[in-house]
Amino acid sequence: MAGAGSAGRALAALLLAASVLSAALLAPGGSSTPDLDKKKHVELKMDQALLLIHNELPETNLTVYWNFDRCYHCLLQVLATVPQSRKAGRPGVAAVAVGTQHGSILQLNDTAEDKEVCRLEYKFGEFGNYSFLVKHVRDGVSEIACDLVVNKEPVDSNLPVCIAFLVGVALVIVVSFLRFLLSLEDFQNWISKAINSRETDRLINSELGSPSRASDPQPEAWRRSAAPLRLRCVDTFRGMALILMVFVNYGGGKYWYFKHSSWNGLTVADLVFPWFVFIMGASIFLSMASILQRGCSKLRLLGKIVWRSFLLICIGIFVVNPNYCLGPLSWEKARIPGVLQRLGATYFVVAVLELLFAKPVPETCALERSCFSLLDITASWPQWLFVLILEGVWLALTFFLPVPGCPTGYLGPGGIGDGGRYRNCTGGAAGYVDRLLLGDQHLYQHPSSAVLYHTEVAYDPEGILGTINSIVMAFLGVQAGKILLYYKDQTRGILIRFAAWGCLLGLVSVALTKASENEGFIPVNKNLWSVSYVTTLSSLAFLILLALYPVVDVKGLWTGAPFFYPGMNSILVYVGHEVFASYFPFQWKLGDQQSHKEHLVQNTVATALWVLIAYVLYKKKVFWKI
């Protein structure tokens, strides 16, 4: 049966073809940056529009203040001052660049008295050209009118994303169709008669000394009959999170929604890491259960856990400290926390916890069809107790740890947020604990909060306090693994539990955030890994498993390709994409640095390449396991 193999090959070829095709389609056909007003010295970058402010008032200098409306409770920033009109028909003019990712707030005040002249809330478009006219309604009347005029329409920044999406959908349809054709027996016969391909194949292969096709390794391991429970939906989900992570780490076309939120809120980039942690939790449980079943001693397993965590942390420190940033053998500025470090620490705690209280999976539940108990939860009450205490520690530290110079229980970004009152309080207790224990120099120096909130202090999104919540996240993943194993022959029971967890955690998130971005008790926040962030993302993770499990594992409607392949080799893909980020063909010099579409093509091609690499390695049975 060559169906799966050839479909996979066809998929790989198509993927490459599509990347090349879209690269050709979207190639730099003439620069898209408009001719710039040289006199005014405003060079437009991506996500910027040109705003010309005309001041026709004869006796008033204007100060222009600006900020994004998304910047919560932020101080407005001085953008420009516009001189008074010298004489009628000669207005004072200032040209400025304004950001276009979010809506803008413009406030024009009289410079001398700092009194409001007019205020505008507007969403500018990328590379648009706008004029803002300030004048008296009629000569001699003190009433002032402000008008916004569009000189040149903006470009549609999201068009490349739409095209990429459509190309992706087309690809999926073509591949599904091919797979369908290949699954038809008649069609296979017709093909082999029409072109005697197998014969040629065999000849070529024997020429090259490769094994013939018939003995190709087939990915049979996932078939339900196979003994150890390796669930394909788990690997598929991991692969999805990983590929999304590669894409956003490579820049995500430089779109704001493919970058991390500046502070509160959720973007695409904020989704991937917790899902990865969640899946790690599920895998910890599934693999540990099968290892213990085979009679491996707990002590040996403990040694393995310690060694793996240690390796993860070491590789992590290596990955986040590219040496050209630091100079020869400098420890002074080495960053200590990071993604793999956090994974290592989380892995250690959760795996040891599960190992300490490991119990054999009760056979009754796996066999009895009527087993609708809460056994998966009650059987692990010591773990639950531990995790709840840990969460209590997070809450207590976050809300009651006194931080010098900052309000206790502060969850904000500092900087210009909160009216600029707590400039160096970024992250409240979480930031303070890291700065105290690890030191300013050993933290991440460019936190995403600097984008909107202009924060100045170092803040690490993978800090110590957040690790507590990533342990909670992983533990919820363990719970998913338990559901999958305890009720393994009752599809309905599994689906009901996934749905219940998804809804329950979703409700907790709604309560914690009051269904708002900034106004809740604990807002969803990636930089803090707040509780609501964990509940929201694990709710989504349960719902994704709810969709994937029946489709991928029960019915076998989808093999999980292409996500399945990177999911099987996650450490290699993660480390590889970080280390080779700036090498060709993952990166090349762009014709126009300020074009979203060129960045998008580059990042998509780089991501597709990692899928391809993972596919080839899978076929060659190369897996990096630590």
What contacts 136, CB < 8 A, 6 or more positions away? 56, 57, 142, 143, 144, 145
User: With respect to ligand NAG, which residue has the nearer C-beta, 121 or 199?
Assistant: 121
From residue 224, give the alpha-carbon distance in Å to each of 25, 228, 332, 447: 43, 9, 53, 45
Binding status of residue 114 toward ligand NAG by CB under 6 A: yes
Give the residue, chosen from 46, 50, 280, 474, that forms a contact with ligand NAG under the rule CB under 6 A. Answer: 50
Give the residue, chosen from 36, 170, 296, 547, that forms a contact with ligand NAG under the rule CB under 6 A. Answer: 36
User: With respect to ligand NAG, which residue has the nearer C-beta, 83 or 265?
Assistant: 83
User: With respect to ligand NAG, which residue has the nearer C-beta, 238 or 423?
Assistant: 423
Q: Are 312 and 626 in contact (CB under 8 A)?
A: yes
- Minimum CB separation of residue 135 from ligand NAG in Å reads 16
- Minimum CB separation of residue 415 from ligand NAG in Å reads 10
Q: Are 615 and 213 in contact (CB under 8 A)?
A: no
User: With respect to ligand NAG, which residue has the nearer C-beta, 37 or 368?
Assistant: 37
Give the residue, chosen from 424, 441, 445, 587, that forms a contact with ligand NAG under the rule CB under 6 A. Answer: 424
User: With respect to ligand NAG, which residue has the nearer C-beta, 50 or 98?
Assistant: 50
Binding status of residue 420 toward ligand NAG by CB under 6 A: no
Binding status of residue 109 toward ligand NAG by CB under 6 A: yes
From residue 580, give the alpha-carbon distance in Å to each of 245, 250, 260, 313, 588: 15, 11, 22, 19, 12
Binding status of residue 129 toward ligand NAG by CB under 6 A: yes
Contact pattern for ligand NAG over residues 374 through 413, marking x by CB under 6 A = ----------------------------------------
Give the residue, chosen from 34, 168, 211, 303, that forms a contact with ligand NAG under the rule CB under 6 A. Answer: 34
Pairing of strands 92-99, 77-82: unpaired
Distance CA 278, CA 580 (A): 26
User: With respect to ligand NAG, which residue has the nearer C-beta, 456 or 489?
Assistant: 456
- Return the SS3 of 121: strand
What contacts 120, CB < 8 A, 6 or more positions away? 104, 105, 106, 107, 132, 146, 148
* Burial letters 129-167, b for 16+ CB under 10 A, else e: bbbbebbeeeeeeeeeeeeeeeeeebbebeebbebbeeb
Binding status of residue 76 toward ligand NAG by CB under 6 A: yes
Phi first, then psi, for residue 608 (nearest 5°) are -60, -35
- Minimum CB separation of residue 414 from ligand NAG in Å reads 9
In order, the DSSP letters of 260-325 are: --SSBS--THHHHHHHHHHHHHHHHHHHHHHHHHTT--HHHHHHHHHHHHHHHHHHHHHHH--GGG
Distance CA 241, CA 570 (A): 10
Stretch that binds ligand NAG, among 5-13, 60-68, 190-198, 351-359 (CB under 6 A): 60-68
Give the residue, chosen from 259, 260, 342, 423, that forms a contact with ligand NAG under the rule CB under 6 A. Answer: 423
Active-site residue flag, 260: yes
User: With respect to ligand NAG, which residue has the nearer C-beta, 43 or 489?
Assistant: 43
Among 54, 260, 577, 596, the one annotated catalytic: 260
- Minimum CB separation of residue 151 from ligand NAG in Å reads 3
Give the residue, chosen from 74, 277, 315, 457, that forms a contact with ligand NAG under the rule CB under 6 A. Answer: 457
The DSSP H or E segment spanning 399 is: helix 381-400
The DSSP H or E segment spanning 19 is: helix 3-25
- Minimum CB separation of residue 150 from ligand NAG in Å reads 9
- Minimum CB separation of residue 124 from ligand NAG in Å reads 13
Distance CA 592, CA 603 (A): 15
Distance CA 432, CA 401 (A): 9
Give the residue, chosen from 6, 23, 73, 83, that forms a contact with ligand NAG under the rule CB under 6 A. Answer: 83
What contacts 424, CB < 8 A, 6 or more positions away? 405, 406, 414, 456, 457
Binding status of residue 152 toward ligand NAG by CB under 6 A: yes
- Minimum CB separation of residue 253 from ligand NAG in Å reads 24
Distance CA 253, CA 399 (A): 37
- Minimum CB separation of residue 431 from ligand NAG in Å reads 12
User: With respect to ligand NAG, which residue has the nearer C-beta, 82 or 600?
Assistant: 82
- Minimum CB separation of residue 153 from ligand NAG in Å reads 11
For the chain, how many helices (H) and strands (E)?
Answer: 19, 8
User: With respect to ligand NAG, which residue has the nearer C-beta, 152 or 369?
Assistant: 152
Give the residue, chosen from 6, 32, 107, 491, that forms a contact with ligand NAG under the rule CB under 6 A. Answer: 107
Give the residue, chosen from 48, 54, 65, 256, that forms a contact with ligand NAG under the rule CB under 6 A. Answer: 65
Count CA atoms closer than 13 A to 12's CA, side-chain side: 17
| Block residue for tokens 């900052």 | 406
Residues in contact with ligand NAG by CB under 6 A are: 34-37, 50, 59-61, 65, 76, 83-84, 107, 109, 112, 114-116, 129, 151-152, 423-424, 456-457
Active-site amino acid positions: 260
